[in-house]
Amino acid sequence: MTEVVTVELGARSYPIVIGAGLLAEAGRRIAELRPGARCAIVTDDNVEAAHGAALRAGMTAAGVDHVTLTISPGEASKSFATYERVVGGILDARLERNDLVIAFGGGVVGDLAGFAAATVRRGMDFVQIPTSLLAQVDSSVGGKTGINAAQGKNLVGAFHQPVLVLADTDVLRTLPAREFRAGYAEIVKYGLIDRPDFFSWLERNRHEIFAFGPALVEAIATSCRAKAAIVAADETERGARALLNLGHTFAHALEGATGYDGARLVHGEAVAIGLVLAHEFANRLNLCDADAAGRVRDHLGAAGLPVAIADIPGPTPDADTLQRFIAQDKKVKRGRLTFILTKGVGKSYIADDIPPHEVLAFLRGKTAA
């Protein structure tokens, strides 16, 4: 079964193709999309070992000239140093502005390769071939690209849409179970934003999704449709697109406070904790009832995800450190804190001017020994 979701952006619209066996078709699809274009495949060591030969074989069979640039896996590669190396590799290969960058990996590779594509020669087109569940339902769609800075996550970047997304569900079978679970947190997020029926469907179908049944393609396609609709309405996050950050203000702070150490916390795990914290904080502010927060916590916990700050291995991040990272969040406007909060499952909204002392008091309660 193959599903196609279109991100509607006028002349810059592009398809997200979802299904099994798409990696073998990538070369043909790219040759049809950009006849004669040369490609720089940006990937990481793990994806290269598992799937690199298959992608390159298809590219060669389709007559697509290509080079491969490999980076180290993990969040630490979303750095200025790695960005400079990837840009240098693209330029050394003498790729021209009308050639293509291929982001072949998870969210780190997609963000980094997309940012390189956005900036080399003032903008090259790129194709997303996401290999993690998280990337297939979130980071590969919508054109957010970037790298991290010492001051926080994703603070340097650009909006740069891909021209094609190929989400092959077969490659997910090689993911470590932890990474698959982490991606599932982003699927859950879409139900919690504004699709309560989808969240209920996930509660009923989680086991089939994790067993790679037909529900997996449906879950990915529904997530992509949800994101595509929001991106089409607000491409550069001036308004409603901020809803996609439900749980992420807390999540990014947790990642920063743990030094982006993937051994302790990967992005999807941080999002899972962040989704629970967003509902619990909303409950503290009397915006939603405790049952909603409990339902979110129970579902994510049943999927094997961490649901509390105390679930993070190692020293518990302290509240003041988390608050400092939150103050650097991209949604801060003139020093005022903006959170995505909720009035219940599927009832999220943008909350401006949240009092910092309320956030700090909440975090102190959650980080107390």
Pick the catalytic residue: 46, 148, 245, 283? 245
For the chain, give the mean pLDDT. Answer: 94
Pick the catalytic residue: 227, 279, 297, 366? 227
Cα dihedral 32, 5, 44, 258, rounded to 10, equals 160
Q: Is 267 a catalytic residue?
A: yes
Q: Is 241 a catalytic residue?
A: yes
Q: Is 252 a catalytic residue?
A: yes
Pick the catalytic residue: 267, 279, 295, 366? 267
Q: Half-sphere exposure of residue 57, counting CA atoms within 13 Å on the CB side?
A: 7
Q: How far apart are CA 25 and CA 55, in angstroms?
A: 9
Q: Is 66 a catalytic residue?
A: no
pLDDT digits (tens, 9 = 90+) for 199-235: 999 999 999 999 999 999 999 999 999 999 999 998 9
Q: Is 32 a catalytic residue?
A: no
Q: What does the pLDDT read at residue 337? A: 79
Task: Report all structural domains of the chain as residue ranges with CATH numbers, in order of start.
Answer: 3-174 (3.40.50.1970), 177-367 (1.20.1090.10)
Mean pLDDT calculated for residue range 137-158: 92
Q: Is 248 a catalytic residue?
A: yes
Q: How many CB atoms lie within 10 A of CB 6?
A: 13
Pick the catalytic residue: 122, 238, 334, 357? 122
Pick the catalytic residue: 78, 153, 206, 252? 252
Q: What does the pLDDT read at residue 238? A: 81
Q: Is 366 a catalytic residue?
A: no
| Residue from 298, 312, 323, 306 nearest 272 by CA | 306
pTM: 0.91
Mean pLDDT calculated for residue range 291-314: 97
pLDDT digits (tens, 9 = 90+) for 99-142: 999 999 999 999 999 999 999 999 999 999 999 999 999 999 99
Q: Is 96 a catalytic residue?
A: no
Mean pLDDT calculated for residue range 176-202: 97
Pick the catalytic residue: 144, 195, 206, 330? 144
Q: Is 237 a catalytic residue?
A: yes
